[in-house]
C-alpha cells in the first residue's frame, strides 16, 4: 500500500496497525495508538530495550522524545484533510520527571492551525495525567 492509501485506511477504519507498521521506529519502540471517539491516546509499552538507565530503571530520553514526536505527527495526520505526511519544523521538549520502566501514555492537542503551519502540544504521563513526565511543542509545515 502507498502512504496515502495507508492513511486513508487508518482514518476510515481506526485501525492503526498498517500505519504504525510503515514506521520502523514506531515498531522498534513498540508505539501503539487507540482512538476514543475523537481522542487519540498513544502508548509506549514497558520494554527493556527502551531503557537508558537500567539502574533506576528509566526510559531513555531519546525514546521519550521520539515517542512524543511520532505521536504529534500521527495525531496531525489523523486530524488533517491532506493525505501527505506533515514535515516537522521544530520540536521543543521539556523533561519534567524520570520516565520509569512502565507503560507511558501521550495525548496531543492542536494549538494553532494555519494554511501552511500547525502547532501541536504533547503531554506524556505514566501513572496520572496530572503528573506528566514530559511536555513538548511541535511545529509542522503542512503540504498540499
- Residue range 92-137, pLDDT digits in tens: 999 999 999 999 999 999 999 888 899 999 999 999 999 999 999 9
What pLDDT shows up at residue 89?
95
pLDDT at 143 over 80: no
The CATH number given to whatever domain includes residue 78 is 3.10.129.10
Query: Per-residue pLDDT for 86 more than 90?
Result: no
Q: Work out whether strand 87-95 and strand 104-113 pair parallel, antiparallel, or are unpaired.
A: unpaired
46-74: per-residue pLDDT in tens? 999 999 988 989 999 999 999 999 999 99
Q: 3-state SS of the chain?
A: CCHHHHHHHHHHHCCCHHHHHCCHHHHHHCCEEEEECCEEEEEECCCHHHEEECCCCEECHHHHHHHHHHHHHHHHHHHCCCCCCCEEEEEEEEECCCCECCCEEEEEEEEEECCCEEEEEEEEECCCCCCEEEEEEEEEECCC
Average pLDDT over residues 85-96: 94
What does pTM read for this prediction? 0.93
Q: Looking at the predicted structure, is the pLDDT value of residue 83 above 80? A: no
Domain count, the chain: 1
Quick one: pLDDT at residue 82? 77
Q: Are 18 and 9 in contact (CB under 8 A)?
A: yes
Structural domain of residue 27, as residue ranges?
3-141
pLDDT at 75 over 70: yes
Per-residue confidence (pLDDT) for residue 144, from 0 to 100: 60
pLDDT at 136: 98
Amino acid at each position: 500500500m502507498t502512504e496515502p492509501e495507508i492513511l486513508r485506511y487508518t482514518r476510515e477504519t481506526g485501525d492503526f496497525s498498517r500505519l504504525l507498521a510503515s514506521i520502523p521506529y514506531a515498531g522498534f519502540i513498540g508505539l501503539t495508538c487507540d482512538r476514543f471517539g475523537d481522542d487519540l491516546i498513544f502508548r509506549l509499552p514497558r520494554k527493556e530495550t527502551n531503557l537508558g538507565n537500567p539502574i533506576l530503571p528509566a526510559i531513555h530520553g531519546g525514546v521519550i522524545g521520539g515517542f512524543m514526536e511520532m505521536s504529534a505527527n500521527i495525531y496531525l495526520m489523523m486530524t488533517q484533510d491532506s493525505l501527505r505526511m506533515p514535515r516537522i519544523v521544530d520540536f521543543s521538549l521539556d523533561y519534567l520527571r524520570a520516565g520509569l520502566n512502565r507503560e507511558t501514555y501521550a495525548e496531543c492537542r492542536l494549538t494553532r492551525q494555519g494554511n501552511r503551519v500547525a502547532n501541536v502540544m504533547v503531554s506524556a504521563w505514566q501513572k496520572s495525567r496530572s503528573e506528566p513526565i514530559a511536555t513538548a511543542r511541535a511545529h509542522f509545515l503542512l503540504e498540499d
